[in-house]
A and B are shown apart, each in its own frame.
Chain A
Amino acid sequence: MKTLLSLLALLTVVTAQAKLNVVATTADLGALARAIGGDKIAITSMARPTEDSHFVDARPSFIRLLNQADVLIEGGAELEAGWLAPLLNNARNPRIQSDAIGHILALQGIRLLEVPTGPLDRSQGDVHARGNPHFLMDPANARIVAAHIADSFCKIDAASCETYRANLKQFTDALDARLLAWEKALAPFRGQHAVSYHNSWPYFSDRFGIQVDVFLEPKPGIPPTPAHLANVIKQMKEQKIRVIFVEPSLNRRTAETVARATGATLVDVSLFPGGIKGTEGDYLKLFDAITDALARALSAPAK
C-alpha cells in the first residue's frame, strides 16, 4: 500500500510540473525544439547523436517515454522507418499518434532532394523513396522546421505561445546572422569536392557549394569493396580532392586508409548536435564546428 501511495505521489509530481513533454527522434530535431521551447519544455532525443540513426534499437524504455510525451517530433523521411512504428503502436498515447496535433513531421514544407524519379528497386541499395532524409544539413531548412515547431507548440500550449514566438525570432535572427558567417567562411572553396562515407550531405552541398559527391560505399547501405575504394582513390587523385568527411558512427578505418593513399585530410563532422564534442544540444554550434573544421582543412597547404 505504501509503495502504491508513493507511486501515486510520484505521478502527481510528474503531472504537476506543467512543462511540455517533448520527444524528438534525433538530436538535431531535439536541438531545434530546445531552441524554441526553452524552459517551457522538457526535451528527450531518442537516437544518440553518435549512432547510426537508421539502426536505433526499439528499446522498451522508449515505449514508456512515448507513452508520456505531449509532442513527438520526427523527421519523417524514412530515417525512423526501422524503429519508430512498433514503439508508437505500443505507446497507447493518442496525443502523438500520426493523426494528432502533437505529432510533428519535420519534413513538411521542406523541398527534399534526390527524390528518386525512375523505377526503384533494392538492387540499387537502400535508397530512400521519399528523398534524402538529411535535410537539416541546410540551415535554411532549419528555419522552416523551427517555424513549424513553434506553430505546433503554440497550438498545443497556447499559454506559452508568446515565449515560443519570441524564442523563434531570437533563433531565426541568430541563424540568419550565422548563416552569413558560415557561407563567408566556405565561400573561397565553392566548387571544390569532398568525400564522405554515405550520401548524407546533398543539402550541405547545395547550400555551401562544397560538392560532397564521392562516397566510400558503392551503393547506399552496401559496404565498401576494395575495387570501389581503388576507384575512389583514383578519382580523388584526378580531381585533387583533399578532404574526407568522417561521421562518428561510420567506419573511420576505411577513411584513414583512403586518406593515407591520397594525402587527404580527415574532417570530423556529424549530422547531429553532440556528434562532435562541444556541440551538444546546439544546432548553431554544430555548424560553427563543421564550417570551421572544413575551412581549416581546405585552406591548409596540400600535402
Chain B
Amino acid sequence: MKLSKALGWSSALCLAALSLQAQETNEAEAIRRQLREANEAFQKAMENYRSATESLNKRIEAVEKKQGIVVTSAPPVYVVEGAARTNAAPTSLLPKPWSPSDPVRIGTQQSYIGISLDALMAAGYSTAKDIEALEPGGHDPKQRGFTVQNLELTLDGKVDPYFRGQANIILQITPEGETAIEVEEAFLETMSLPWNLQVKAGQYFTEFGRLNPQHPHAWDFVDQPLVNGRFLGADGLRNPGARVSWLVPTPFYSELFLGLQNSQGETAFSFRDTHEDGFLFGRPAADTRVKSFSDMIFAPRYAASFDLADGHTVVMGASAVLGPNASGKDNDTQIYGLDLFYKWKPHHQSKGFPFVTWQTEAMWRRYEAAAFAGDSDHPALPSETLRDWGIYSQLSYGFRRGWVGSLRGDYVTGRSAALDPDPDRDTRWRISPALTYYPSEFSKIRLQYNYDDRDRIGVDHSIWIQFEFLLGAHSAHKF
C-alpha cells in the first residue's frame, strides 16, 4: 500500500513537472523536426541530383558508343601520386557511388588548344615625308592613310604534363600592298622542372626589359618607343634559342633569366643582321657564320617585384644582351637596360578601373664598329666604338571605366662618330599624348598625336587612330 502510494505521488509529480515543461519541449521539438526535415530535403535533393547525373552519364555513354567513340566511363578523378601507373586499366566500368566531393564533368571541356586572332589597324596623317623613317617600329603606322599593323594568330595550350606550347603567327600588309607572314614566336615552356627552374625553347622574344617581350596589341601606344626601334630593331629582339629561368626563393618575387639565341637575321638588329641595304652605321654588314657559343647572343636578366602598400605594385628589372655584330670578325655589341613598372589599382576596382601605371626603360648600347676602306658610294671609316643611349617614360591613367589617357616621352642620342650625320644615331625626341577607349575587353579605339623633333631634319606632327579587335580565347593578361 505504502509503495503504491509513493509510486502514485511520484508519478503525479512527474506529470506536473512535465506539463510545465511541455510548451518549451514542444517548441524545441518543432525546431528539431524542422531541421531534420530540411536535412532530409537536402539529402533527397542530392539523391535526385545523383541519379540524374548517373542517368545522364549513361546516356552520354550510350550515345558515344553508338558513334563508335571509345570512352572509359571513369570521370577525371584526382589521382594520388603513383596510383595512376599501378592502376592503369579501370577494373570496373560501373560508376562508383557518387559523393559531393567527387568531380563531375561539366560541359565539353576540351581545351587542347586556345585559338585567337587579334587585328590591329591604324589610320592617320603625318607631316613627315618618309613615314617609314619617322616610325622605326615594324608594326608602326607606315604611311598616310591606312596601315594593317598586325594580324596575330595565337595558338597555345598544354602539350602534355611536361610542356606548354605557344605560337604567334603574324600577317602584315606592307605599304606596297603585299601580305607578309612572320613566325613571331613559337616556343615551348616546361611546367615540371625541379628547383624552381623553367626552360623556354624555340623562337621567342628575348626577355630584355618590359616592352620587348610584349606583343604590339598590349602596348599603351600606337607605335614602339624610339629606343626599342633603334637598339632592339623594328620587330623587337627575337630569335631561335633557349633560356632557363630560376624563381629565386626570396620572400618577394624575383626571377633570374639566362638566355642564348642565334645572333643573325633581321630580328637581331644590333647584332649580325645584314640589313636591307647591306650597311649599318656606314659599314657593310657581313654574313658571318656561327663557330661557337660565343658567337651567339647571351641575354641575362634579373627582375623583382614588390607590393608596396595594398594596391601599389612595382616591378624592376635589369637586362643585358651581349653578342657579335656584323661589322667585322671580332666585333661585339653590348646593350644594357633598366626598367621600372609601377601600378596602382584601388581596392574597389570594377572591371579593372580605375588604375594608374608608370613605365620607364633606359638603355645603353656599345657597338664595336670595324674599319671600312670605303667604296664608290660610301666613305672610308675608321675602327671605333659607337656609344648610344635612350630612354622612354610613359604614364597611363584609366580615369573611368573603359577610358585611358596616356602620355609618353621618348629620347635617343648617340655620341658623335666618324659618320656624321647618321639618321640611325642622331639625337631625336618625341612627345605622344594618347586617349584610348575600350568598348569591351575585346576591342579598343585609340587616338594618338606625336610631336617629333629630329636633329638635322626638324619637327614633324603626326596623328594616328588605331583600332583593335580580338576574336577567340581571351588569353589572360600578364602583369
Closest to A99 in B: B161
Cβ contacts under 8 Å, B35 to chain A: 176-177, 180
Cβ contacts under 8 Å, B196 to chain A: 67, 92
Partner of A179, one of B38, B252, B350, B440: B38
C-beta contact mask, B132-164 vs A, less than 8 Å → 1, else 0?
Answer: 000000000000000000000000000001001
Cβ contacts under 8 Å, B476 to chain A: 58, 81-86
Closest to B164 in A: A89
Interface centre among A61, A248, A250 (most CB of B within 10 A): A61
C-beta contact mask, B165-202 vs A, less than 8 Å → 1, else 0?
Answer: 00000000000000000000000010111001110000
Query: Is there an interface contact between A52 and B39, defined as CB atoms closer than 8 Å?
Result: no
Cβ contacts under 8 Å, A85 to chain B: 475-476
The stretch from B87-95, B99-107, B416-424, B454-462 touching chain A is: B99-107
Cβ contacts under 8 Å, A10 to chain B: 251
CA gap between A60 and B99 in the complex, in Å: 37
Query: Is there an interface contact between B107 and A130, defined as CB atoms closer than 8 Å?
Result: yes
**B2 on the A face (CB < 8 A):** no
**A112 on the B face (CB < 8 A):** yes
Chain A interface size range: 35 or more
**A129 on the B face (CB < 8 A):** yes
**B247 on the A face (CB < 8 A):** yes
The stretch from B4-12, B18-26, B73-81, B268-276 touching chain A is: B73-81
Closest to A87 in B: B476
Shortest A245–chain B CB gap in Å is 14
Cβ contacts under 8 Å, B343 to chain A: 57
Query: Is there an interface contact between A101 and B78, defined as CB atoms closer than 8 Å?
Result: yes
Interface centre among B35, B189, B402 (most CB of A within 10 A): B35
Query: Is there an interface contact between A155 and B107, defined as CB atoms closer than 8 Å?
Result: no
CA gap between A72 and B393 in the complex, in Å: 37
C-beta contact mask, B16-45 vs A, less than 8 Å → 1, else 0?
Answer: 000000000000000100110011001000
Cβ contacts under 8 Å, A297 to chain B: none
Contacts A81-B474, A81-B476, A89-B189 given; indicate if A221 touches B78 (C-beta within 8 A): no
Cβ contacts under 8 Å, B107 to chain A: 115, 129-130
Interface residues in A134-155 (C-beta closer than 8 Å to B): 140, 143-144, 147-148, 150-152, 155
Query: Is there an interface contact between A92 and B193, defined as CB atoms closer than 8 Å?
Result: yes
Query: Is there an interface contact between A60 and B79, defined as CB atoms closer than 8 Å?
Result: no
Query: Is there an interface contact between A64 and B247, defined as CB atoms closer than 8 Å?
Result: yes
Shortest B278–chain A CB gap in Å is 41
**B85 on the A face (CB < 8 A):** no
Cβ contacts under 8 Å, B478 to chain A: 58, 86
Closest to B193 in A: A92
Partner of B253, one of A63, A129, A130, A248: A63
Partner of A58, one of B103, B247, B307, B477: B477
**A257 on the B face (CB < 8 A):** no
Partner of A60, one of B100, B193, B251, B479: B479
**A222 on the B face (CB < 8 A):** yes
Query: Is there an interface contact between A92 and B198, defined as CB atoms closer than 8 Å?
Result: yes
**A231 on the B face (CB < 8 A):** no
Query: Is there an interface contact between A249 and B348, defined as CB atoms closer than 8 Å?
Result: yes
C-beta contact mask, A51-84 vs B, less than 8 Å → 1, else 0?
Answer: 1101101111101100100000000000001111
**B49 on the A face (CB < 8 A):** yes
Cβ contacts under 8 Å, A99 to chain B: 79, 161
Query: Is there an interface contact between B100 and A109, defined as CB atoms closer than 8 Å?
Result: yes
Cβ contacts under 8 Å, A227 to chain B: none
Interface centre among B161, B347, B479 (most CB of A within 10 A): B479
CA gap between A189 and B139 in the complex, in Å: 60
Contacts A60-B253, A61-B307, A109-B103 given; indicate if A54 touches B477 (C-beta within 8 A): no
Query: Is there an interface contact between B479 and A221, defined as CB atoms closer than 8 Å?
Result: no
Interface residues in B59-98 (C-beta closer than 8 Å to A): 78-81
Query: Is there an interface contact between B347 and A82, defined as CB atoms closer than 8 Å?
Result: no
Query: Is there an interface contact between A61 and B401, defined as CB atoms closer than 8 Å?
Result: no
C-beta contact mask, A264-297 vs B, less than 8 Å → 1, else 0?
Answer: 0000000000000000000000000000000000
**A108 on the B face (CB < 8 A):** yes
**A251 on the B face (CB < 8 A):** yes
Cβ contacts under 8 Å, B303 to chain A: 60
Query: Is there an interface contact between B305 and A60, defined as CB atoms closer than 8 Å?
Result: yes
Cβ contacts under 8 Å, B477 to chain A: 57-58, 82-83, 86
Query: Is there an interface contact between A61 and B305, defined as CB atoms closer than 8 Å?
Result: yes
Query: Is there an interface contact between B441 and A126, defined as CB atoms closer than 8 Å?
Result: yes
Contacts A64-B252, A130-B106, A180-B38 given; indicate if A101 touches B81 (C-beta within 8 A): yes
Closest to B306 in A: A61
Cβ contacts under 8 Å, B475 to chain A: 85
Contacts A58-B478, A63-B247 given; indicate if A52 touches B103 (C-beta within 8 A): no
**A223 on the B face (CB < 8 A):** yes
Cβ contacts under 8 Å, B253 to chain A: 60-61, 63-64
Interface centre among A52, A60, A81, A250 (most CB of B within 10 A): A60
Interface centre among A86, A101, A108 (most CB of B within 10 A): A108
CA gap between A126 and B401 in the complex, in Å: 16
Closest to A251 in B: B350
Interface residues in B339-373 (C-beta closer than 8 Å to A): 343, 345, 347-352
C-beta contact mask, B197-217 vs A, less than 8 Å → 1, else 0?
Answer: 110000000000000000000
Cβ contacts under 8 Å, A48 to chain B: 310, 347
What are 5 pairs between A and B in contact, CB < 8 Å? A10-B251, A11-B249, A57-B479, A99-B161, A223-B402
8 pairs of A and B residues whose beta carbons are closest in the complex: A60-B305, A148-B101, A60-B253, A55-B352, A151-B101, A144-B100, A108-B103, A109-B100
B residues adjacent to A (C-beta < 8 A):
31, 34-35, 38-39, 42, 49, 78-81, 99-104, 106-107, 161, 164, 189, 191-193, 196-198, 247, 249-253, 255, 303, 305-307, 310, 313, 315, 343, 345, 347-352, 401-402, 440-442, 474-479
A residues adjacent to B (C-beta < 8 A):
7, 10-11, 48, 50-52, 54-55, 57-61, 63-64, 67, 81-86, 89-90, 92, 94, 97, 99, 101, 105, 107-109, 111-112, 115, 122, 126, 129-131, 140, 143-144, 147-148, 150-152, 155, 176-177, 179-180, 221-223, 248-251
For the A-B complex with A61-B252, A63-B253 known, give 16 more contacts whose Cβ atoms are closer than 8 Å: A61-B305, A61-B307, A67-B247, A81-B474, A86-B478, A89-B189, A92-B193, A115-B107, A126-B440, A130-B106, A130-B107, A147-B99, A180-B35, A221-B351, A249-B348, A249-B350
